Structure 1
Amino acid sequence: MQVTETLNDGLKRGYQITVTAGELDAKVDEKLAEAQPEVEMKGFRKGKVPMALLKKQFGQRLLGEAMQEAVDGAMNEHFEKTGDRPAMQPSVKMTNEDWKEGDDVEVELSYEALPEIPDFDASELKLEKLVVKAEDSAVDEALQSLADNAQSFEDKGEGAEAEDGDQVVIDFTGSIDGEEFEGGAAEDYPLVLGSGSFIPGFEEQLKGVTAGDEKDVNVSFPEEYGAEHLAGKDAVFAVKVKEVKKPKPAEVDDELAKRYGADDLDALKAQIRERLESEYAGAARSVMKRQLLDQLDEKVSFDLPPSLVDAEANQIAHQLWHEENPDVQGHDHEKIEPTDEHRKLAERRVRLGLLLAELGQKNDVKVTDAEMTQAVMNQARQYPGQERQFFEFVQQNPQMRQQLQAPIFEDKVVDYVFEQADVSEKEVSKEELQKEVEKLEEDDAAA
């Protein structure tokens, strides 16, 4: 077997692989020898069929397998010897298309090699970690929000008119062209005016009603309404108002805390403070991660495989085009050409992706089975009632597993670099942290 280099330009590589006819013949003989003990043929005992007869019977069929295995073996041996890692799937092409049995096999192998990633000293990175303490006012605001959500309603009094925020208890029956429709009726339904829980125009027409009133509410179902038989139709709801109630705010006390699963008010405050500071820490981590990526992008430079940059630039351009044209759902549109800005962003993403992957590999960063299971569970929650099918889909789809694994791996590598870097802490207010997060979002939108 001969491997001859035909191209070595930057990261581009090309080789001519020649598998001789003798090597192919030996490979076929090897396969036949492996199978011979189990072969049965009329006139011969099991395992005693002569090789010459086996070759005549099965040799042609095994030749293709032998050819593929020989080429694959030559490629694997080449990559082990050179240490090259292809950036994308190598191109393998048989060059002697008029090949016939007894000829050598000539194959052209071409690919772009992943670059050598230079070492760098992570301890030289200087990062600033923003720290936000949950102020009492933020805890009190969260407590009040919980109390508002836990509000109850009490009778507003005889003759009281319903206003926004009040609850009306109603019976209603809906009809279209005089005929009642399925799902259009209910009894003792508690509706909070201004909640937007009913179709547009319904709640507004109940402002000013009092207990005992009966009223026809005329509405039009939206054109994009979920039930196709109702979409765009005019309807009349015969409504009977049974009660009008005003909101009764819940007290911020131990009873409220128990409704939310805490032992008492102090325990609930502690939980809220912990949750708030966890949210602040997550936002601060995103800010520090951007600092890290910006510094890595400046400090570490190496050649990039053009095919990876092209693929990333095309993906960025395609994604942004769809964001700007949300009405186009499919991909049967004109070709979208990446701009210089798209390519610049693609180069950054490819460079940082290769760098983080190399750091993770060198430092044995792994995504554990438990972490993957948790990621799948989190994703499965988006499909209530179909969690099991989603689990099975992920198990059978390597690409989906990779999509779930990639961000976990990246975050673990980032955490590893955080541990090596020179990190200083700076205590800031919630508002200052929010400004930094908004800058990130602006940068992402501009990109």
Structure 2
Amino acid sequence: MAVNVETLEKLERKMTLTLPVNVIQSEVDTRLKRLARTVKMDGFRPGKVPLSVVAQRYGYSVQYEVMNDKVGEAFAQAANEAKLRVAGQPRITEKEGAPEGELSFDAVFEVFPDVKIGDLTEAEIERVTAEVDDSAIDRTIEILRKQRRTFAQRAQGDPAQDGDRVTVDFEGKIDGEAFQGGKADDFQFLVGEGQMLKEFEEAVRGMKTGESKTFPLAFPADYHGKDVAGKQADFMVTVKKIEAAHMPEVNDQLVKSLGIAEGGVEALRADIRKNLEREVKFRLQARNKQAVMDALVAKSDLDLPKASVQSEVERMVESARADLKQRGIKDADKAPIPGELFQAQAERRVRLGLVVAELVRSNELQAKPEQIKAHIEELSASYEKPAEVVRWYYGDNRRLAEVEAVVIENNVTEFVLSKAKVNDKSISFDELMGQQAAA
């Protein structure tokens, strides 16, 4: 087999493969004979079908299979001998004018690029830190109390206040016409918790049991109900019941109801702190990892294999369709989602994948078994039965691979931060968690 490789442009290469016809024919004959021993055809006993009849029926498909296999083998062997790292599948076409007794093919393909990473000591990266303070623990306890609150009916004549649970009848009309979803009886909601649109809450706040009120309500332009989005409605609401919330005291009884048998309130606060610190650690890792990846993109120089980018685009389109299907969108698997929407994101992912792989290879940043084990144990610690969660991870190679990828990224993050010019910045717990600070 003679092999010739030429560069077309950037990462694109062309390889010419030459195969003897007799090698192809010999393999075709072998497969047809094997097929003749098992094939079933009308008028013949099994295993007694003449080879000429088998060849007539199956010859073309067998020859096609053999050509594919032999050319594929020849390509893989030639790429291996030339030490080429092939990206994606080659486009193979048969050439005309080959010498007698031979078949020639052109294989056009891409190779993975040489990755050049700039001087990481010149990279400037902002690394954020955050602490779990007492106010974060206090707010978590308030959430736990709210989840266990009870309600008791207010005295007749008491107005509805924030935190109360109200039961109402309402009906809305747009230009005098009722609309779907605009009417309900015995509807309950909590005042002041954002469950209803602002105008609705403001109308009910201060009303008393038995009172009715008519008020205007402007639906936002991005309201989920498309038929009423951006329109003005008139609502009539009648308050039928007002119930005041009772929050449980922070005492041993509450602590025990949360599954903490001993240690009282201090044990509860310690448990909450431990869980919040675990969450803070993961969020800091994610945020600082993003800063490192941005720096790597800026410091790397490489051509991207079009085949890899296209594969990533296709994967992201399929993921988008799966997301639509999960949301119950009809015919989501046929949704016309243009790949261009994901082009830039796909290019970034491919670029980062190649850069990270190069850093891992050249600096031995692979995930060690003990790192994977420690990460899984940390992920499992917040569950009621951690040992079962650990077994769940180790019971599936795909789940293990996902953990391994995270650990590798963490190793790369720590490596880059150890080299770069790092500016440390302390941020609040609320900012890290994406919450607004309590007033």
The CA distance in 2 between the partners of 1:156 and 1:3, in whole Å, is 89
Aligned residue for 1:390? none
CA 1:426–1:146: 2 relative to 1, 3 Å: farther
The CA distance in 2 between the partners of 1:7 and 1:145, in whole Å, is 64
The CA distance in 2 between the partners of 1:61 and 1:138, in whole Å, is 69
The CA distance in 2 between the partners of 1:13 and 1:433, in whole Å, is 52
Aligned residue for 1:239? 238
Deviation at 1:87, TM superposition (A): 1.9
SS of 1:252's equivalent in the other structure is: coil
1:264-299 residue CA offsets vs partner (Å, 9 max, x unmatched):
322221121012211221233234434654675687
The CA distance in 1 between the partners of 2:311 and 2:127, in whole Å, is 31
The CA distance in 2 between the partners of 1:337 and 1:186, in whole Å, is 46
Structure 2 counterpart of 1:205, one-letter code: A
CA 1:429–1:180: 2 relative to 1, 3 Å: closer
Say what the alpha-carbon RMSD is for the aligned residues.
Answer: 5.6
Q: Contact (CA 8 Å) 1:87, 1:308: kept in 2 or not? A: yes
Deviation at 1:419, TM superposition (A): 7.5
Q: Contact (CA 8 Å) 2:130, 2:429: kept in 1 or not? A: no
Deviation at 1:109, TM superposition (A): 0.5
The CA distance in 2 between the partners of 1:294 and 1:173, in whole Å, is 52
Q: Contact (CA 8 Å) 1:175, 1:237: kept in 2 or not? A: yes
Aligned residue for 1:95? 95
Q: Contact (CA 8 Å) 2:87, 2:305: kept in 1 or not? A: no
Pick from 170, 180, 202 the counterpart of residue 204 of structure 1: 202
CA 1:105–1:201: 2 relative to 1, 3 Å: same
Which stretch shifts more, 411-420 or 231-240? 231-240
Q: Contact (CA 8 Å) 1:356, 1:410: kept in 2 or not? A: no
Q: Contact (CA 8 Å) 2:171, 2:184: kept in 1 or not? A: yes
Aligned residue for 1:307? 306
Aligned residue for 2:388? none
Aligned residue for 1:415? 410
Deviation at 1:114, TM superposition (A): 1.4
TM-score, normalised relative to structure 2: 0.63
Q: Contact (CA 8 Å) 1:112, 1:305: kept in 2 or not? A: no
Alignment of 1:1-20 (within 5 A): 1-7=1-7, 11-20=11-20
Aligned residue for 2:428? 431
Structure 1 counterpart of 2:406, one-letter code: D
Deviation at 1:108, TM superposition (A): 0.9
Q: Is 1:107 equivalent to 2:102 in the alignment?
A: no
Pick from 259, 271, 276 the counterpart of residue 261 of structure 1: 259
The CA distance in 1 between the partners of 2:285 and 2:11, in whole Å, is 35
Structure 1 counterpart of 2:67, one-letter code: M
Aligned residue for 1:136? 134
Alignment of 1:324-403 (within 5 A): 349-357=349-357, 365=367
Q: Is 1:215 equivalent to 2:208 in the alignment?
A: no
Aligned residue for 1:386? none
1:309-367 residue CA offsets vs partner (Å, 9 max, x unmatched):
9759999xx9xxxxxxxxxx9868897898xxx6xx98765443113335667776599
The CA distance in 1 between the partners of 2:155 and 2:101, in whole Å, is 100
Deviation at 1:237, TM superposition (A): 5.2
Aligned residue for 2:29? 29
Q: Contact (CA 8 Å) 1:199, 1:221: kept in 2 or not? A: no
The CA distance in 2 between the partners of 1:337 and 1:269, in whole Å, is 44
CA 1:412–1:53: 2 relative to 1, 3 Å: same
CA 1:435–1:136: 2 relative to 1, 3 Å: closer
SS of 1:28's equivalent in the other structure is: helix
Deviation at 1:230, TM superposition (A): 12
The CA distance in 2 between the partners of 1:130 and 1:337, in whole Å, is 29
The CA distance in 1 between the partners of 2:294 and 2:177, in whole Å, is 66
SS of 2:7's equivalent in the other structure is: strand
Alignment of 1:30-49 (within 5 A): 30-39=30-39, 47=47
The CA distance in 2 between the partners of 1:87 and 1:138, in whole Å, is 49
Aligned residue for 2:381? none
Structure 2 counterpart of 1:63, one-letter code: Q
Structure 1 unaligned runs (5+)? Answer: 319-328, 375-394, 396-400, 439-447
Deviation at 1:173, TM superposition (A): 6.5
SS of 2:195's equivalent in the other structure is: coil
The CA distance in 1 between the partners of 2:59 and 2:281, in whole Å, is 67
Aligned residue for 2:79? 79
Which stretch shifts more, 353-362 or 108-117? 353-362
Alignment of 1:271-310 (within 5 A): 271-290=271-290, 292-293=292-293, 303-307=302-306
The CA distance in 2 between the partners of 1:127 and 1:179, in whole Å, is 57
Deviation at 1:7, TM superposition (A): 3.3
SS of 1:197's equivalent in the other structure is: coil
Q: Contact (CA 8 Å) 2:172, 2:182: kept in 1 or not? A: no
Deviation at 1:413, TM superposition (A): 1.3
The CA distance in 1 between the partners of 2:433 and 2:190, in whole Å, is 38
The CA distance in 1 between the partners of 2:160 and 2:46, in whole Å, is 93
Aligned residue for 2:190? 192
Deviation at 1:305, TM superposition (A): 3.8
Q: Contact (CA 8 Å) 2:8, 2:14: kept in 1 or not? A: yes
Q: Contact (CA 8 Å) 1:287, 1:436: kept in 2 or not? A: no
Structure 2 unaligned runs (5+)? Answer: 318-331, 377-395
The CA distance in 1 between the partners of 2:337 and 2:179, in whole Å, is 43
CA 1:119–1:217: 2 relative to 1, 3 Å: closer
Structure 2 counterpart of 1:167, one-letter code: R
SS of 1:88's equivalent in the other structure is: strand
SS of 2:15's equivalent in the other structure is: strand
The CA distance in 2 between the partners of 1:48 and 1:421, in whole Å, is 69
Q: Contact (CA 8 Å) 2:116, 2:302: kept in 1 or not? A: no
The CA distance in 2 between the partners of 1:138 and 1:10, in whole Å, is 54
Identity across the alignment (%): 23
